[in-house]
Amino acid sequence: MSEKREDVVEERVYNVPLRRILIAPVKKRTPRAVRILRAFVMKHMKSESLVISNEVNAALWKKGIEGAPHHLRIRAAKGRDNTVTVYLAKEE
């Protein structure tokens, strides 16, 4: 983990519903999933600054532009500078 524990002010785990991608055309589903994820995290963590990690991006694009997942379990960590970083939640 690149972020130190002392720098994390708040950390939450969410299961983000991405089913709304199904109303988009087939070739625009994963970009829509990225926009839905960004809006969800910005709303729930109350921050305008957001960084999506490479592992989350890879999970969204795993099946290409047409096949984004219908939900995604993430861990959102807010730092002291009010920047939220989104990681995949570890399965326990």
Mean per-residue pLDDT for 60-72?
Answer: 94
pTM: 0.87
Give the residue numbers spanning the domain of 83: 5-88
> Burial code of 29-63, b = ≥16 C-beta within 10 A, e = fewer?
bbebbbebbeebbeeebebeebebbeebeebbeee
Per-residue pLDDT, 90: 82
Using CA atoms, how far apart are residues 10 and 87, in angstroms rounded to an integer?
14
Mean per-residue pLDDT for 45-55?
Answer: 94
Residue position matching structure tokens 């130190």: 4
Per-residue pLDDT, 2: 52
Using CA atoms, how far apart are residues 49 and 47, in angstroms rounded to an integer?
6
Number of domains into which the chain is organized: 1
Model confidence at 8, pLDDT cuts 50, 70, 90, reads confident
